[in-house]
């Protein structure tokens, strides 16, 4: 009886100690910020996990396509073993070729985009996602050794993806524009009216206009403005990167301003090849300016 009581008591003390340790970790992390000891430890673990995630992703991607193909063809089970193996091998190869073709096409479009805007672009592959359900971030296979630094914008052929928030030696974490912590300074392509675009998880992004009187129509294109509103809001992204199109426009509950929802151009469920903007060269003057 006394032994049981002692064991229960020591377990409770242990749990109490662990809870205190958790609270200390939360406090130290909140106070230390990006350069604090907890963030440094996090980068250490990220540096270890990066190559592992890259390795697993390289194995999983073709198998994922292969499994999908197999699920779509039930009649294969009735054929003889040799034939099945042959078909499976061919499908695996086809899946790999398709994956490479898609990656090639995406890279071509991506570098076309970089030429138009004068970006210096570094191609990267998405290897993993943040593990939790409450964070919208991906891991890419380029890191500090490749010259990636925090706050570099990330795009793909369709438009803006997000920005780098953490850098490890061989990989980096990119916060997607879907994350509620993400705020991008944007403008309407047609009118140039500005605002801030905030992530809303899988829902369309929320566009907070600076001028509440602005007229907005569904279908209007939204692009980055390259404009900094205040510390921490915007200013990271170069101007004129396509972000999305206006999905809906409704008065907000207070009726004082508009609630504009923007559907991102990027399909985040199929994110694989991206480009990290490492710099921007000055663009040549437009041709019509020379002719006049």
Partner 1 sequence: MRRALAWIAVVVTALLLQSTVFAQIKLGGAKPELMYLVTVVLAMLEGPASGAIGGFSAGMAQDFLLNDPKGITALVLTVLGYVVGTVRQFITTPSPALPTILVGVGTIGGVLFYGFVAFLLGRLPGDALFLLRVAVLSAVYNAILTPVAYPLLRRVAETTRTKKVHRW
Helix or strand holding residue 245 (H, E): strand 242-251
Residues 139-168 that bind partner 1 (CB under 8 A): 139, 165-166
Nearer to partner 1, 102 or 116 (CB): 102
3-class secondary structure per residue, 203-238? CCEEEEECCCCCCCCCCCEEEECCCEEECCEECCCC
3-class DSSP state for residue 28?
Answer: helix
Nearer to partner 1, 45 or 83 (CB): 45
How, if at all, do strands 273-280 and 233-234 pair?
Answer: unpaired
106 touching partner 1, by CB under 8 A = no
64 touching partner 1, by CB under 8 A = yes
CA atoms lying within 13 Å on the CB side of residue 117: 25
Dihedrals φ, ψ of 291, to 5°? -70, -25
Binding-site member from 35, 80, 81, 134 for partner 1 (CB under 8 A): 134
Contact window for partner 1 (CB under 8 A) among 71-79, 128-136, 151-159, 214-222: 128-136
- Give one DSSP letter per residue of 74-113, joined into a string: GGGGGS-HHHHHHHHHHHHHHHHHHHHHHHHHHHHHHHHH
Sequence-distant (6+) residues with CB within 8 A of 279 are 119, 120
Nearer to partner 1, 61 or 194 (CB): 61
Q: What is the DSSP letter of 202?
A: B
181 touching partner 1, by CB under 8 A = yes
Binding-site member from 157, 160, 167, 175 for partner 1 (CB under 8 A): 175
Q: What is the DSSP letter of 195?
A: E
Binding-site member from 6, 30, 108, 191 for partner 1 (CB under 8 A): 30
Q: Residue 244 CB, nearest distance to partner 1 (Å)?
A: 19
Is 204 buried (19+), middle (13-18) or exposed (0-12) by CB count in 10 A? middle
Nearer to partner 1, 76 or 165 (CB): 165
Binding-site member from 25, 83, 145, 212 for partner 1 (CB under 8 A): 25
Cα-only R_g, the chain:
24
Q: What is the DSSP letter of 164?
A: E
Nearer to partner 1, 102 or 108 (CB): 102
Nearer to partner 1, 158 or 179 (CB): 179
Contact window for partner 1 (CB under 8 A) among 56-64, 101-109, 207-215, 280-288: 56-64
Question: What whole-number distance in Å separates Cα of residue 102 and Cα of residue 99?
Answer: 5
47 touching partner 1, by CB under 8 A = no
103 touching partner 1, by CB under 8 A = no
Q: What is the DSSP letter of 9?
A: H
Nearer to partner 1, 42 or 238 (CB): 42
Site of interaction with partner 1 (CB under 8 A): 10-11, 14-15, 18-19, 21-26, 28-30, 38-39, 41-42, 45-46, 49, 52-53, 56-57, 60, 64, 127-135, 137, 139, 165-166, 173, 175, 179-181, 201-202
């Amino acid at each position: 009886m006394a032994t049981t009581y002692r064991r229960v008591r020591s377990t409770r003390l242990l749990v109490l100690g662990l809870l205190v340790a958790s609270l200390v970790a939360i406090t130290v992390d909140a106070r230390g910020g990006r350069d604090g000891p907890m963030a440094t430890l996090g980068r250490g673990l990220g540096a270890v996990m990066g190559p592992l995630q890259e390795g697993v992703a390289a194995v999983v991607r073709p198998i994922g396509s292969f499994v999908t193909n197999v699920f779509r063809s039930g009649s294969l089970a009735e054929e003889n073993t040799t034939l099945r193996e042959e078909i499976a091998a061919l499908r695996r190869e086809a899946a790999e070729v398709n994956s490479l073709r898609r990656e090639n096409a995406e890279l071509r479009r991506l570098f076309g985009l970089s030429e138009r805007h004068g970006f210096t672009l570094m191609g990267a592959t998405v290897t993993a996602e943040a593990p939790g359900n409450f964070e919208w971030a991906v891991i890419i296979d380029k890191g500090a050794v490749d010259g990636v630094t925090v706050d570099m914008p990330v795009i793909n052929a369709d438009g803006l993806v997000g920005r780098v928030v953490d850098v490890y030696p061989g990989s980096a974490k990119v916060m997607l524009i879907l994350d509620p912590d993400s705020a991008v300074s944007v403008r309407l392509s047609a009118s140039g009216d500005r605002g801030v675009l905030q992530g809303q998880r899988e829902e369309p992004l929320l566009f907070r206009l600076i001028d509440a009187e602005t007229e907005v129509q569904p279908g209007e294109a939204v692009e980055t403005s390259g404009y900094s509103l205040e510390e921490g809001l915007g200013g990271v992204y170069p101007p004129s990167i396509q972000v999305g199109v206006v999905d809906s426009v409704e008065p907000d509950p207070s009726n004082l301003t508009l609630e504009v929802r923007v559907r991102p151009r990027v399909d985040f469920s199929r994110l694989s090849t991206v480009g990290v903007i490492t710099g921007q060269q000055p663009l040549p003057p437009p041709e019509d300016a020379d002719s006049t």
